[in-house]
Chain A
């Protein structure tokens, strides 16, 4: 069964304190791994897509990396506005619309 597990469930950081969020996955053939950001009361907002192990992508203070079993979202010197829930989703073989979401990591960055 395809599974996506995100850890930790919640993370509190001080402004400037770098850390990483984890997304572990078990799927029958990876098509794409997605990171989304979700603010309270809003829909998820696309951040990155990674397609193969070793791939990395960056956007401002965020950097996403991918191995054959997991992905990390590294947050460097976070600011309070980075506070949000970060969702990981994995596209798998077995149908073009087969996408499994994790439960998310709620990040709080205190000033």
Chain B
């Protein structure tokens, strides 16, 4: 079984709809991350969490919110989706600070906002 799983894998929605992307991990890591990937751009950090009571904004958090329901679960929400949020979204975990520790990525969710 995969260490980091994401649901759904693909989602098409309309402008203004609320969307939730879910991530679960069996790595036992405290640190979890949400990224988006756009063609021609590098991965960009949206939010990260060190534990259920510690949520931090990343580089591009506007328009997004997150919830850390348990050590193993980290959800990303788009309160009112807009077309420029169409992207590939990845969840990741790490055993320590990502500036010098490897990350383990999920398979991604492809989100299309019409």
Contacts and interface: CB of A to CB of B under 8 A. Distances in A.
A100 B42 contact: yes
A77 interface: no
A102 B42 CA distance: 5
Interface in A74-105: 87, 89, 91-93, 95-104
A34 B102 CA distance: 8
B105 A45 contact: yes
Contact of A43 (B41, B100, B106): B106
Interface size range of chain B in the complex: 20 to 34
Contacts, number: 66
A104 B41 CA distance: 9
B84 interface: no
Interface size range of chain A in the complex: 20 to 34
Contact of B103 (A46, A51, A93, A95): A46
B45 A43 contact: no
A99 B45 contact: yes
B99 A32 contact: yes
Contact of A103 (B4, B40, B99): B40
Interface of A: 4, 31-32, 34, 41-46, 49, 51, 87, 89, 91-93, 95-104
Given A91-B99, A92-B99, A99-B98, 5 more contacts: A32-B99, A41-B107, A43-B105, A49-B100, A103-B42
